[in-house]
Structure 1
Amino acid sequence: MKVLVVGGGGREHAICWKLAQSPKVTELYCAPGNAGIAQVATCVPVKATDVENMVKWAKENAMDFVMVAPDDPLALGMVDALEAAGIPAFGPRANAAIIEASKAFSKSLMKKYHIPTAKYETFTELDKALAYIQEQGAPIVVKADGLALGKGVVVAQTVEEAQQAVREMMEDHKFGASGSTVVIEECMVGPEVTVLAFCDGEHLVPMLSSQDHKRAYDGNQGPNTGGMGAFCPSPKYTPEIAQRCTREIFLPTVEALKAEGRPFKGVIYFGLMLTQDGPKVVEYNARFGDPETQPILSMLDTDLMDIFQACVDGTLDQVDIKWKQGAACCIVLASGGYPVAYEKGYPISGLEEAGKQAVVFHAGTARNEAGEIVTAGGRVLGVTAVGSNLEDAIAKAYAACKPITWQDMHFRTDIGKV
């Protein structure tokens, strides 16, 4: 099969790395890809959000299957467009991807179908949002309604901080149109766990649980990022909690989307808070998370192409999905200054040495004119190791980070330990 993966980050490198192991995949392409992905797939210079040209390229080059990984092209309807062109595609259609593209939609869906989540209100007028925050007090959570690269959520510790966040979103348009509507919700307390699940519109198979670290610096300090590291499985996600989540959250979500005429095929990301009142949904995403995908796919013991095809065909219940024993950990190596301002183009050394000890997934890399691999983004690499237990996986991942250097590189030293 000729397979195209859409995207160019660490998540897409992990997906391409896993698909390259499938005997079914004879030719693998990635658009736009990156310097690491180029080692396992042929990179195609088409932007991930360019729906028209992506479909055109897939048709002209006779792709048998396309996997759409990032949130933006899913929300823009790339899967719908590929299907209309007669190309099987993995990922939700736009009307189902809205569970991530609009937080207001997903909250109203949860309310309607009694899926446990935080108490909330939605606002399109600034003064009403400010008054509600004053009335509710802090801590309180402010969310931009639309897609904001994982950075549109502020957990405010004071009323002033929450009101400032609302002003930045609604008045200063910090996230463009994504912040014209805001969701303000109660601040839930408890451990946070992520569960990704394969879905074929009817059936759902959860993957291993995971935890990621959003804050930029050690001790969960600093601004929110797209994720500075992740590990799986989460020791906090017990079999009892898993059963409860399946019964109260996962299956009801699939049923709710189906009932609304929005059947979901692809990967649903359940961001969960394990509160004293039981597990509740923090957020949905309509795709694999990044960096959670890197450790999760490192633990997968089943052909990923088989799973993707079953999700598209509606036969997920016929696939026996197996996982390795042990645990996996991913450490994100980032550019100095990320998630705010950072420089690009620094040569990276030590990749070969690190690759002997772990899998180094590339997130923001490119090749310069001299042929060197250089930094090309905020999150640059995801060094991922599998171990017999979590402690072992963490130690192996950090050991593999040691040879890697570039100017102003920074990373957290406490992934999996806090």
Structure 2
Amino acid sequence: MNILVLGGGGREHAIAWALAKSPRTDALYVAPGNGGTASIARNVPGLDAEDGRAVLAFAEEHAIDLVVIGPEAPLVAGVADVLREAGIAVFGPDAQGAQLEGSKTFSKRFMDANDIPTARYGSFTEQEPALAYVRELGAPVVVKADGLAAGKGVVVAETVEDAEEAVRECFEGAFGEAGSTVVVEECLTGPECSILAFVSGGKAHCMATAQDHKRAFDGDRGPNTGGMGVYSPVPIVMPDELAVMHEVMEKAAEATAREFDNDYRGVLYGGFMLTPEGPKVLEFNARFGDPETQVVLPRLEADLVDILLAAAEGRPDDIDLRWSEQWAVCVVLASEGYPGAYEKGKVILGVEEAEELDGVTVFHAGTARNADDELVTAGGRVLNVVALGDTFDEAREKAYEACDLINFEGKQYRTDIGKKAAAGRSAWE
């Protein structure tokens, strides 16, 4: 098969890596790709992944059998719609289904309509009613830009004043059109956890649990980021909580088949809070998580091509998932200054040495090749260092051993990925 992956981050490198292992994969393309995908696939830097017609033209010219859409923006832009209409198998929901991520208001209403446990909320298109609702809920409170904001449009405000400022920033254009509608939510308490599911034909095939670390610095301090590290499975999730999470994902998948015009065929990402009242949904995303994918796919023992094609073709009963019992830990190496301003073009050394360690894989997120063919930094999150181990501690130690072998100017990373979970559920109390 000829396969095209849309996207250029660590998630897409992990997807391409898993696809490349399949005997069914012939030609593999990644658009735009990065310095890591270039070693296992052909990068297509000139293809606009959000332009459905351009993607279709490329797919027809290169006899693409399956398109896998990584990021949310092409999904919301309707790229999957264009491809499906032309008869090309595509893994990723259409534009309507992608609104589960593209609009927090749409997603919240979907949850309400289908009795999915979530936080109380209000959705507002004007500033004053939003401010009034903030005061009604009181602090702490969560303020969200309704649309896509590259993971930056959510503020967990500890005071009413901070929440009011966040509301004003949204309506004053801090997030562009994404902030023209604002969602204000009650602040749930407890550990966060995510579970992804392959969805097709109204059925959900749940993947392994994962837990991201969104804050920039050790001890969950600093600004939110796209994710500084993650592990799978999540040891603090109790069996009864996992059962509820699976039920929620199955209920959501059934609802997509019932409520949406077209079959939802792609990943449904459930972001949960493990509250004292039980798991509640913080958000749904319409694609593979980043960096969750980087620890989930290395534990997948089934053929990813078979899975994605079955979902894309509406054959959910043909999806067969098998998981390794090993633990996976990912540490993100970022550019100095991330998630704020950062410099690019710093030469990266030691990746090959890190990957010589047993069970270590380095997925590239923000890398490129310079004129001298040197690997250089090209983004905020630069590398995802992933280690597999027979125990949680072994995987953590191996990941950090690999991190020590990789160097570039301004290398920044958290030293406590997984530490809190290793201490047990009481660490959140």
For Structure 1 versus Structure 2, the TM-score category normalised by the shorter chain is over 0.9
Following TM superposition, by how much is the alpha carbon of 1:49 offset from its aligned partner in structure 2, in angstroms?
A: 2.0
Per-residue CA shift, 1:346-405, capped at 9, x if unaligned?
Answer: 110111111112101000000000110100000000000110021111111111111111
- Per the alignment, residue 146 of structure 1 pairs with 147
Per-residue CA shift, 1:64-118, capped at 9, x if unaligned?
Answer: 1110111000000111111122211111011111100000001011111111000
* Unaligned runs of at least 5 residues, structure 1: none
Following TM superposition, by how much is the alpha carbon of 1:127 offset from its aligned partner in structure 2, in angstroms?
A: 1.0
- Per the alignment, residue 254 of structure 1 pairs with 253
- Per the alignment, residue 112 of structure 1 pairs with 113
- Per the alignment, residue 161 of structure 1 pairs with 162
Aligned to 1:402, the other structure's residue is in SS state: helix
Map residues 372-411 of structure 1 onto 2, 5 A cutoff: 372-411=374-413
**Separation in 2, partners of 1:233, 1:339:** 26
- Per the alignment, residue 124 of structure 2 pairs with 123
Aligned to 1:163, the other structure's residue is in SS state: helix
TM (norm. structure 1) is: 0.98
**Separation in 1, partners of 2:201, 2:227:** 28
**Separation in 2, partners of 1:140, 1:47:** 38
**Separation in 2, partners of 1:142, 1:236:** 27
Per-residue CA shift, 1:160-204, capped at 9, x if unaligned?
Answer: 100111111111x11110010011000000111000111113221
Q: Which amino acid aligns with 1:299?
A: R
How many corresponding residue pairs? 416
- Per the alignment, residue 183 of structure 1 pairs with 183
Q: Which amino acid aligns with 1:201?
A: G
Following TM superposition, by how much is the alpha carbon of 1:52 offset from its aligned partner in structure 2, in angstroms?
A: 2.3
Following TM superposition, by how much is the alpha carbon of 1:136 offset from its aligned partner in structure 2, in angstroms?
A: 1.8
Map residues 259-270 of structure 1 onto 2, 5 A cutoff: 259-262=258-261, 263-270=263-270
Query: Does the 8 Å CA contact 1:202/1:314 hold for their aligned counterparts?
Result: no
**Separation in 1, partners of 2:203, 2:133:** 39
Query: Does the 8 Å CA contact 2:366/2:383 hold for their aligned counterparts?
Result: yes
- Per the alignment, residue 171 of structure 2 pairs with 170
Query: Does the 8 Å CA contact 2:198/2:267 hold for their aligned counterparts?
Result: yes
Query: Does the 8 Å CA contact 1:265/1:311 hold for their aligned counterparts?
Result: yes
Query: Does the 8 Å CA contact 1:59/1:85 hold for their aligned counterparts?
Result: no
- Cα RMSD of the aligned pairs, angstroms, is 1.0
Query: Does the 8 Å CA contact 2:201/2:315 hold for their aligned counterparts?
Result: no
- Per the alignment, residue 55 of structure 1 pairs with 56
* Unaligned runs of at least 5 residues, structure 2: 421-429
Per-residue CA shift, 1:124-165, capped at 9, x if unaligned?
Answer: 100111121122210000011001111111100000100111
- Per the alignment, residue 346 of structure 2 pairs with 346
Q: More displaced, 48-57 or 19-28?
A: 48-57
1:367 to 2:366 alignment: no
Aligned to 2:116, the other structure's residue is in SS state: coil
Query: Does the 8 Å CA contact 2:200/2:311 hold for their aligned counterparts?
Result: yes
- Per the alignment, residue 100 of structure 1 pairs with 101
**Separation in 2, partners of 1:284, 1:182:** 17
- Per the alignment, residue 193 of structure 1 pairs with 193
Per-residue CA shift, 1:270-301, capped at 9, x if unaligned?
Answer: 00011111110000000000001001001000
Following TM superposition, by how much is the alpha carbon of 1:47 offset from its aligned partner in structure 2, in angstroms?
A: 2.8
Query: Does the 8 Å CA contact 1:268/1:284 hold for their aligned counterparts?
Result: yes
Query: Does the 8 Å CA contact 1:35/1:373 hold for their aligned counterparts?
Result: yes
Aligned to 1:165, the other structure's residue is in SS state: helix
**Separation in 2, partners of 1:135, 1:281:** 22
Aligned to 1:80, the other structure's residue is in SS state: helix
**Separation in 1, partners of 2:256, 2:315:** 18
Query: Does the 8 Å CA contact 1:385/1:393 hold for their aligned counterparts?
Result: yes
Query: Does the 8 Å CA contact 2:5/2:30 hold for their aligned counterparts?
Result: yes
**Separation in 2, partners of 1:55, 1:7:** 15
Aligned to 2:405, the other structure's residue is in SS state: coil
Aligned to 1:18, the other structure's residue is in SS state: helix
Following TM superposition, by how much is the alpha carbon of 1:313 offset from its aligned partner in structure 2, in angstroms?
A: 2.2
Aligned to 1:122, the other structure's residue is in SS state: strand
Following TM superposition, by how much is the alpha carbon of 1:314 offset from its aligned partner in structure 2, in angstroms?
A: 2.3
- Per the alignment, residue 22 of structure 2 pairs with 22
Per-residue CA shift, 1:218-262, capped at 9, x if unaligned?
Answer: 000000000001000001223221212222x11221122222124
Per-residue CA shift, 1:298-344, capped at 9, x if unaligned?
Answer: 10000000000111122222332100012101100000000110000
Q: Which amino acid aligns with 2:289?
A: G
Q: Which amino acid aligns with 2:104?
A: K
- Per the alignment, residue 309 of structure 2 pairs with 309
Q: Which amino acid aligns with 2:87?
A: G
- Per the alignment, residue 13 of structure 2 pairs with 13
- Per the alignment, residue 204 of structure 1 pairs with 204
Query: Does the 8 Å CA contact 2:52/2:80 hold for their aligned counterparts?
Result: no
Q: Which amino acid aligns with 2:208?
A: L
- Per the alignment, residue 337 of structure 2 pairs with 337
